[in-house]
Amino acid sequence: MVLTMADKIKLVQRDTRPQLRATLTYEGDADPAVPVDITGGTPRLYFRRAGETALLDTLVGTVLNGPAGIVVFDWGPSTLDVAPGAYEGQIEVTFADGGRQTVYDILKFAVRGEFDAP
C-alpha cells in the first residue's frame, strides 16, 4: 500500500485539528494508482517520536470511502501534547477477514510549540 503525502506534515503542539486524510493505493504499473478497497476494515495510525520505538498513541481511523481507500484520522485530545520536534507515523489496516496490511511509507511530522495564551 502506498500513501502519497507532503514530505512533512506540520502540526502545532496540543492541537486536535486538522484531520489527517489519506487515500491508500496499490503502487505498480497501473497509471493512475489503484485504490485499496478498505471496506469493512479498521485503519490505525501509530504515532511515535522519530528515532524511538515506543508508541505515543494509536489513532483508529474512520473509513470515508472504502472502495476508494479514503480514511481520516482525528487527533486525540492528548496525542499532540508532546514536546516540539520530529515525529513519525505508520498506517495499518486490519481487513474484515482478519488480514493485515501496513503502508510501507512512514509519515513524517514536525510539531512546533504553541504560543503561550495571554
pLDDT in tens, 1-48: 455 555 789 999 999 999 999 999 887 666 677 899 999 999 999 999
Q: Is 53 helix (H, G, I), strand (E, B) or coil?
A: coil
pLDDT score of 118 more than 70: no
Closest CA to 117 of 12, 10, 19, 11: 12
12 Cβ contact partners less than 8 Å away, ≥ 6 residues apart: 80, 111, 112, 113, 114
Query: What's the confidence (pLDDT) of residue 1?
Result: 47
pLDDT band at 117 (very low <50, low <70, confident <90, very high): low
Q: Is 78 helix (H, G, I), strand (E, B) or coil?
A: coil
Global confidence as pTM: 0.89
